[in-house]
Amino acid sequence: MATTIALIALAVFIPLWGIYTYNKLVRLSVRAEESWREIDTQLKRRWDLVPHLVATVKGYAAHEKGVFTRVIEARAQALAAELPGDQAVAEVELKDALFSLFAVAEAYPELRAHENFLQMQRTLVEAEDAIQKTRQYYNAVVRELNLAVLTLPRNLIAMLFRFKPRDFYALPGEDMANQPPVRF
């Protein structure tokens, strides 16, 4: 009698656990995709600002053509990237190009005082903050998803329904293991 009850309990528990696990994996996958789209939204906000920024600086420093070309090319590369790793590499290039653009702007005091330029600078800082927050959220969701997909016994359901781990959004050079040691 006890064996029969145990078998019935297992026959009920295992399918319920499988359904619960499957639904959890689906929820995590949807949250990961949603948070990736939020990163896209924040990046697009910044990308849309770049042409206006270039046009404003170009009005004051038309002879800095190489810097403008680099910024526009980096923006195009960022727009074309799809995977988190490719996106991260493209974003580093765009940030470097924007730093070059701001370095050019430093040489023109009247530009630095121009209201449009100042507003774009503030908007760019806000966009960078939003990108960082959404990136942190994305990586937290991906961590949860990857743990669920890779750990026993959930990985059995994940393999059965072809759930895969996702890549983290990490900027190149963020690997702390490769950081040079600090010496005094």
Rg of the chain on CA atoms, in Å: 24
In this prediction, residue 140 carries a pLDDT of 97
In this prediction, residue 147 carries a pLDDT of 97
Q: Where are the domains of the chain?
A: 9-167
For residue 175, name the pLDDT band (cuts at 50, 70, 90): low
Closest CA to 97 of 137, 117, 69: 69
Which of 6-10, 32-36, 90-94 has maximum average pLDDT?
32-36
In this prediction, residue 173 carries a pLDDT of 67
Query: H/E/C letters for each residue in 37-86?
Result: HHHHHHHHHHHHHHHHHHHHHHHHCCCCHHHHHHHHHHHHHHHHCCCHHH
CA dist., res. 28 & res. 11, Å (int): 26
DSSP state of 161: T
Q: From residue 92, how far is each of 4, 106, 166 by CA, in Å?
A: 62, 21, 21
User: What tens digit of pLDDT does each residue of 132-173 get?
Assistant: 999 999 999 999 999 999 999 999 999 999 999 999 998 776
Residue 176 has pLDDT above 70, yes or no: no
Mean pLDDT taken over the chain: 88
Domain 9-167 sits in CATH 1.20.1440.20: yes
In this prediction, residue 118 carries a pLDDT of 86
Whether the Cβ atoms of residue 29 and residue 117 lie closer than 8 Å to each other: no
Instruction: Give every CB contact of residue 150 below 8 A, 6+ residues apart in sequence.
Output: 158, 165
